[in-house]
Amino acid sequence: MIADLTPLAPVQRGAMATCDLLVFAPHPDDAEIHAGATIARQVRLGAAVVVVDATAGELGSRGDATTRATEAGEAARILGLAGRECLHLEDGGLMPGDRAQRDALVAALRRWRPKTVLTMHPHARHGDHIGLGHLALGAVKMAALHRFPVPGEAVPGIRLWQYEAELPLAQPTFLVPATEADWLVKKAAIACYDSQLAGGSGPATSIATPEFLTWVESRGRAWGFQAGAAYAEAFTGPEAPRIADLRTL
């Protein structure tokens, strides 16, 4: 299935912050690496997109939290985000079932009041990637409960989808196509994280090699072939997609 994630009608913004699409990421750079083209496409189509980084990435083998925050800010500018924030949860400590961490995600949902949420799929190697995937599942439901004791008003009806982590999705629910221009925005946003990539300095890591960016490119091209587009990114989720026009399949 080929899909767009957000409505194109203008969002009515009152006193509370709102967005069409909120993307939870374990660390600064994860949203760009795994869903950057989708973010670029949705912004191009008129959606207000917010990225919420769960941690500051302070455990990263390269760079530091301050550097990564600066890089994340520049990436946000390139992507055209409506907002970006860091929850400053413990890097290396995102745990399924941790109530305090889940409640931090609930509070973010109530601040931004999104229509749709993307989070990393827990089919992953990194413990924080696994942890965030599970935490977001619970947070979306808790955010809708009017009596749930977290500041802010309840946010009902959020649709939750999971983007592909470092391990491949065997059978995505849908693919979001991307143009060459969308992909160039994604590449430029990823390039902001020079401290983490091959151009930076520090110990060898899995992403600090030229082969990493080749892998990102190859995965986008492969999904794009299936989507009938230049590139695409893969998503799945706990709910069935709602399709109004079967001609889009």
Average pLDDT for the chain:
93
68: domain range?
A: 19-235
Q: Residue 244 falls within a domain, yes or no? A: no
Q: Residue 228 falls within a domain, yes or no? A: yes
Q: Residue 1 falls within a domain, yes or no? A: no
Residues of the chain by 3-state class (helix, strand, coil), percent to 5: 40, 20, 45
**CATH classification at residue 42:** 3.40.50.10320
Q: Residue 113 falls within a domain, yes or no? A: yes
Q: Residue 30 falls within a domain, yes or no? A: yes
* Contact assessment for residue 113 and residue 17, using Cβ atoms and an 8 Å cutoff: yes
Number of domains in the chain: 1
Q: Residue 59 falls within a domain, yes or no? A: yes
Tell me, what DSSP letter sits at residue 96?
Answer: T
Q: How far is CA 53 from the centre of its chain?
A: 9
Residue 32 backbone dihedrals phi, psi, to 5 degrees: -65, -45
Q: Residue 4 falls within a domain, yes or no? A: no
- The pLDDT of residue 2 is 67
> Poorest-confidence range of 90-99, 135-144, 201-210?
201-210
pLDDT tens-place string over residues 22-55:
999 999 999 999 999 999 999 999 999 999 999 9
Quote the CA–CA distance of 27 and 60 in Å, as a whole number. Answer: 9
pLDDT tens-place string over residues 181-200:
999 999 999 999 999 998 77
Quote the CA–CA distance of 215 and 249 in Å, as a whole number. Answer: 27
Q: Which H or E element spans position 34?
A: helix 30-44
